[in-house]
């Protein structure tokens, strides 16, 4: 229907363009009906043969050559129309010929004006279609990438839960074997941590205050487990600092660093082990540092291996690309990590 409407508009345009100096509309219509098939053939040949086969495939030399052939052929047909008009419309009388048929340049301009408009409209439509298809493909790619990232993040978070439970249940098992009076406290801390992990940290971002409370509970468990064999310090902003409640972080992101400090520190050291944790916050810039002592004969690679740190590295890459720096220092008698993280804007 769009093509039909277009060619009806061209028919109307030709009628007035070539008949503006001729009052014989019957003669004018006859000439237009002869010219219109040439215009249609030229237009469709360029649109659906030359452009797709040569121009869009970057074969510009062939396109220019065949476009010249098309121009010559259409001019030849135009001149043939003038002869036919002279024979069948003017009946061999020069004075009866249309004004338009006497001006070959005007005839060619009229023909190629329509061709140019049609080609321009077609190329504009092709460009818009390609842009739309490209935008749809890019949107589909981003959606697929987002879904893959969400699936990977879910898998990584799901790994944290069994990893944590395995460690804490081992702690509880050791206390129950010795009949420790601290076993009920362990159960209480575990229940608080599980409540947080299962119900309060299912969002993509959680308040930093919740993560700090989670670390306090975990440290309480480890202190009960190791007793005087471990000395723990945990420095955080004051509880009255509103930043802890208004700044948000990915859930369970800091816990693996603390777990790692006990796994490769207190659990390996038969003497007194020390764990120093410091969390500072300046606007959206978070610095989290964990240092633990370790036996001097610990292999260099042991302190930075395992599920915990590998997991957290992947989560940082996915959740905070380009917004974090993680530094590890594996010295002979101590291991330390320092995480610099740009938190999300609370707005």
Report the distance separating Cα 253 and Cα 201, nearest Å: 11
How would DSSP label each residue in 171-220? HHHHHHHTT-TTHHHHHHHHHHHHHIIIIIS-SSSEEHHHHHHHHHHHHH
Which helix (DSSP H) or strand (DSSP E) does residue 29 occupy? helix 25-45
90-127: pLDDT as tens digits: 565 655 556 655 666 777 787 888 889 988 988 898 88
Residues 6+ apart with CB under 8 A from 292: 261, 262, 264, 265, 266, 273, 274, 275, 276, 334, 335, 336
**pLDDT at position 291:** 93
269-274 contacts: CB < 8 A, separation 24 or more?
Answer: 269/229, 269/293, 269/294, 269/295, 270/295, 271/229, 272/228, 272/229, 272/230, 272/231, 273/226, 273/229, 273/230, 273/231, 274/230, 274/231, 274/232
Q: Has this prediction a pTM greater than 0.85?
A: no
**pLDDT at position 233:** 93
Residue 327: burial class (beta carbons within 10 Å; 0-12, 13-18, 19+)? exposed
**pLDDT at position 162:** 62
Helix 25-45 / helix 2-18 crossing angle, nearest 10 deg = 130
Torsion on CA atoms 282, 283, 284, 290, rounded to nearest 10: 20
What domains are there in the chain, each with its CATH number? 2-136 (no CATH), 180-342 (3.30.565.10)
268-283: pLDDT as tens digits: 667 788 999 999 998 8
Q: What residue ranges of the chain have pLDDT lower than 70?
A: 19-27, 85-104, 146, 148-165, 167-168, 171, 175, 180, 239-241, 267-269, 297-308, 346-347
Parallel, antiparallel or unpaired: strands 230-235 and 285-293: unpaired
- Contact present, 346 and 247 (Cβ < 8 Å): yes
Residue 156 forms beta bridges with which residues? none
- Contact present, 172 and 316 (Cβ < 8 Å): no
**pLDDT at position 269:** 65
**pLDDT at position 337:** 93
């Amino acid at each position: 229907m769009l093509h039909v409407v277009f060619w009806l508009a061209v028919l109307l345009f030709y009628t007035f363009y070539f008949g503006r100096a001729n009052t014989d509309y019957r003669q004018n219509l006859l000439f237009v009906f002869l010219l219109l098939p040439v215009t249609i053939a030229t237009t469709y040949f360029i649109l659906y043969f030359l452009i797709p086969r040569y121009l869009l495939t970057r074969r510009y030399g062939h396109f220019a050559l065949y476009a010249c052939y098309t121009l010559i052929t259409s001019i030849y047909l135009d001149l043939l129309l003038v002869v036919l008009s002279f024979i069948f419309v003017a009946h061999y009388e020069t004075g009866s010929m249309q004004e338009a048929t006497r001006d070959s340049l005007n005839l060619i301009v009229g023909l190629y004006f329509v061709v140019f408009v049609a080609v321009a409209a077609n190329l504009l439509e092709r460009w818009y279609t390609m842009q739309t298809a490209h935008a749809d493909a890019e949107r589909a790619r981003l959606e697929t990438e987002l879904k893959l990232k969400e699936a990977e993040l879910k898998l990584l978070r799901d790994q944290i839960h069994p990893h944590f439970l395995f460690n804490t249940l081992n702690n509880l098992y050791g206390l129950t074997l010795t009949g420790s009076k601290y076993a009920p406290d362990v159960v209480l801390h575990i229940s608080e941590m599980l409540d947080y992990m299962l119900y309060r940290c299912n969002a993509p971002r959680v308040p930093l205050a919740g993560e700090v409370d989670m670390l306090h509970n975990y440290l309480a468990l480890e202190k009960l487990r190791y007793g005087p064999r471990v000395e723990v310090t945990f420095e955080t902003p004051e509880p009255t600092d509103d930043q802890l409640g208004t700044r948000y972080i990915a859930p369970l992101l800091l816990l693996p660093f603390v777990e790692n400090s006990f796994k490769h520190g207190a659990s390996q050291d038969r003497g007194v082990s020390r764990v120093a944790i410091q969390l500072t916050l300046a606007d959206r810039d978070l610095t989290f540092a964990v240092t633990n002592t370790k036996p001097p004969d610990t292999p260099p690679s042991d302190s930075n291996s395992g599920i915990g740190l590998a997991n957290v590295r992947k989560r940082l890459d996915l959740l905070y690309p380009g917004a974090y720096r993680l530094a590890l220092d594996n010295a002979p008698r101590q291991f330390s990590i320092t995480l610099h993280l740009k938190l999300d804007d609370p707005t």
